[in-house]
Structure 1
Amino acid sequence: MSSDSSSLQSTAVINEAVQSLREGRLVAFPTETVYGLGADAKNPEAIKKVFLAKGRPADHPLIIHVAAPDKFDQAQVGWVPVLSPWVRDISEDALKLMNAFWPGPLTLVFRKDKSVPLEATGGQETVAIRAPAHPLTQELLRKFKGGIVGPSANRFGKVSPTSAADVRSEFEGMLDLMVLDGGDCQVGIESTIVDLSSSDHPTLLRPGIITPGEILEKTGIKIFLPGEIIPAEGGVDIPRVSGSLRAHYAPTTPLRLYAPGRVLDALSEFPDIKSRVAVAVWDSDSALGEDGHPSVHFEEVLVPSDSVGFAGKLYRTLRDLDQQGWDLILLPEPPPGEEWDGVRDRLQRACFGSGPSSSNHANS
């Protein structure tokens, strides 16, 4: 297929997706982080369909995705007109962060404009916004001329999808879902979330691939952790954000982490599970061997030992292993260092939520 005819095809597909969104239907779309389940961010009825499809609690806020402005030959990109329909005020810090990291895997939380439906914000007076970097979704957003809410396109609490096939298998039998196929997601874990709504201290609400260290280096802005902020008198609550519940991103197979060289210790936690265990090992390490455990059938799965590579493969690995019928999945504990914090956060929530009964405590 020539590039001309493929771009014509993608234009037709995007026009169809825009029409679906305008009619209040759902469209799954690719981003650089994970696939999103999209609806018109100004349509409360469409937003409710997202919650219903996912089985997501109504007080769990959504991120609104916006188009990056066309750059032309401006030195400064004009983010203010993009944000003004959604947010009440835009600080200098916000502009610096947007100019440094948008479009990209950074979500910013603002005080919301009164026109933003409370359905999108989980009933809060704050709104989370990002401009995704995926070219297909940027084109969709530009043609839609509006914001699109887009939590990960999976059932609530389960492993996030990083391909169009993941989305289709997640919602099989839901006839009214259009899936835009933008290939495999490159970043592989959800965006970093920084709160700019409540104080002079930008606060990290969810770690991701963009770290506080990188933000400081590129913008001079210090990002605080929630525990470092002392609330003012009559203090402001930290906004609830996506992916902040204790159980999340979870496979149906029990998942545990093991410390370096401690695979056996991790196994001894599961006296009944002694048959088929998938053990992920760093690609820089030597093989485990059978570890002298006659009753266990191990299979080794190599995972990247750099944080960016590991993040990119994390959900793909969890999904694939989940579908292979193992009794237990063991992953190595991520090493210390803030570049691993995003991955560590996802793994801890995935472990807590994993196992066949995970639906029971997905809301705890």
Structure 2
Amino acid sequence: MQSSAVINEAVQTLRDGGLVAFPIETVYGLWADAKNPQVIHKVFATKGRPSNHPLIVHLAAPDRFDQAQVDWVPILAPWTRDLSEDTLKLINAFWPGSLTLVFKKDKSVLNDLTGGQDTVAIRAPAHPIAQELLRKFKGGVVAPSANRFGKVSLTSAADVRAEFEDVLDLMILDGGDCEIGIESTIIDLSSGDKAVLPRPGAITPSEILAKTGVNVYQPNELKSDEAMEDLPKISGSLKAHYAPTTPLRLYAPGRVLDALSEFPDINSRVAVAVWDSESSLSEDGHRSAHCEEIEVPSDSTAFASRLYRSLRDLDQPGWDLILFPEPPAGEKWDGVRDRLQRACFGSGPSSSGHVNT
């Protein structure tokens, strides 16, 4: 746990227009004052993030004390005034937690953090130290993942130090490893009539329906292409994202050899991730390359928690290719499936050239 002195130093750094790297339950974030346009520009520059790619605002949850239900309206008033009954159901059921909601923004919200859009994405993280920091700061912070834009997200303080070793004025707080391991579920509420899922995460549409009675629609369930085009841009929505420099590919069940055949160099070293519930692949006989197996959890929650850690550990000069099994069908795997597909598309030595497409 961080001491009060360290938390207070981080709060002062934010007030002074500095950057603080700190974890929430999902991944490590690059924290900055959401009301300071200069430091928001610094966030974009530090990450190498396109200025039209919006940031998520993070807010403190009020202390509940003896309240049966928290009044979120005054907390959200500086950011949005468009709070429907369904919106309040979602907030009361899942905040603080790994659910981000997209609203029509209040006119006072900086265009710099919304990518010039008329919407703003907001969440209240559940990480207790993050909540303490936010309460002491008494304001909103932007907290995009603490990694170079388009690359693998980070879930430990040591990885953040390695990623930004050239950023000397970055304050890094070690809050331990992140529990959930992938970014939050995003629900778009900005249209006013439907809740839409532009980014899956640990919280699934079925869980939302069960707890709140709110139906969540997939973008492809909207009535028209025009309706899909009207969806706001959100963090992590580019086709290439979360990408290692080493080429990454997915293989279907029992099709490792097919995946290897597309990478025929006999001198290649290939890291093959296999389910911990399955037998070894060694008897298949990988004649085309030197392969080493790495077990990954067959439980979706554990897989998500370790996904970025595994990708970062394998993204080393010793490997020429990383193979991961395709996640099973089902919405509890949708979050990691989304991250892996984007990581595959952006992976490889020239991945930095893909991330803006």
| Shorter-chain TM-score tier | over 0.9
Aligned mate of 2:198, from 202, 205, 211: 205
Aligned to 2:313: 320
Runs of 4+ in 1 over 3 A off after TM superposition: 231-236
User: Aligned partners of 1:231 and 1:360: how far apart in 2?
Assistant: 31
Q: CA deviation at 1:297?
A: 1.5
User: Aligned partners of 2:290 and 2:242: how far apart in 1?
Assistant: 26
Tell whether 2:90 aligns with 1:90: no
- Relative distance call for 1:308 and 1:120 in structure 2 (3 A) is same
User: Aligned partners of 1:103 and 1:234: how far apart in 2?
Assistant: 30
Report 1:122-201 matches (<5 A).
122-201=115-194
TM-score by length of 2: 0.97
Q: CA deviation at 1:272?
A: 3.0
Q: CA deviation at 1:293?
A: 2.6
User: Aligned partners of 1:26 and 1:233: how far apart in 2?
Assistant: 38
* Contact 1:273-1:328 at 8 Å conserved across structures: no
Amino acid at match of 2:68: A
Q: CA deviation at 1:261?
A: 0.8
User: How many correspondences in the alignment?
Assistant: 357
Which stretch of the first structure deviates more once superposed, 300-309 or 321-330? 321-330
User: Aligned partners of 1:270 and 1:139: how far apart in 2?
Assistant: 49
Amino acid at match of 1:22: R
Aligned to 2:68: 75
CA distances 1:7-46 after superposition (whole Å, capped 9, x unpaired): xx61111111111111111111110000000110001111
Q: CA deviation at 1:77?
A: 1.1
* Contact 1:290-1:298 at 8 Å conserved across structures: no
* Contact 2:275-2:295 at 8 Å conserved across structures: yes
SS of residue in 1 equivalent to 2:342: helix
**Which runs of 5 or more residues in structure 2 are unaligned?**
none
- Relative distance call for 1:267 and 1:178 in structure 2 (3 A) is same
Tell whether 2:342 aligns with 1:345: no
CA distances 1:274-318 after superposition (whole Å, capped 9, x unpaired): 421110000000010152233421111010001111000000000
Aligned to 1:230: 223
**Which runs of 5 or more residues in structure 1 are unaligned?**
1-5
- Relative distance call for 1:282 and 1:313 in structure 2 (3 A) is same
Amino acid at match of 1:170: E
Aligned to 1:3: none
Amino acid at match of 1:100: A
Tell whether 2:290 aligns with 1:297: yes
Q: CA deviation at 1:146?
A: 0.2
User: Aligned partners of 1:361 and 1:275: how far apart in 2?
Assistant: 24
Amino acid at match of 1:28: A
Amino acid at match of 2:24: T
User: Aligned partners of 1:99 and 1:350: how far apart in 2?
Assistant: 33
User: Aligned partners of 1:246 and 1:215: how far apart in 2?
Assistant: 26
Aligned to 2:280: 287
Tell whether 2:279 aligns with 1:272: no
Aligned to 1:217: 210
Q: CA deviation at 1:348?
A: 0.3
Which stretch of the first structure deviates more once superposed, 235-244 or 165-174? 235-244
Which stretch of the first structure deviates more once superposed, 264-273 or 60-69? 264-273
User: Aligned partners of 2:288 and 2:281: how far apart in 1?
Assistant: 15
Amino acid at match of 2:8: N
* Contact 2:264-2:289 at 8 Å conserved across structures: no
Amino acid at match of 2:192: S
Q: CA deviation at 1:256?
A: 0.3
- Relative distance call for 1:273 and 1:153 in structure 2 (3 A) is farther
Which stretch of the first structure deviates more once superposed, 118-127 or 82-91? 82-91
User: Aligned partners of 1:125 and 1:157: how far apart in 2?
Assistant: 24
- Relative distance call for 1:235 and 1:186 in structure 2 (3 A) is closer
* Contact 1:275-1:296 at 8 Å conserved across structures: yes
Aligned to 2:45: 52
CA distances 1:196-249 after superposition (whole Å, capped 9, x unpaired): 111311000100010001100110100011122226999981010000000000
SS of residue in 2 equivalent to 1:279: strand
User: Aligned partners of 1:233 and 1:240: how far apart in 2?
Assistant: 14
- Relative distance call for 1:90 and 1:273 in structure 2 (3 A) is farther
SS of residue in 1 equivalent to 2:181: coil
Aligned mate of 1:43, from 36, 42, 56: 36
* Contact 2:220-2:228 at 8 Å conserved across structures: no
Query: Identity percentage over the alignment?
Result: 75
* Contact 1:201-1:229 at 8 Å conserved across structures: no
User: Aligned partners of 2:250 and 2:67: how far apart in 1?
Assistant: 48
Tell whether 2:354 aligns with 1:361: yes
* Contact 2:185-2:203 at 8 Å conserved across structures: yes
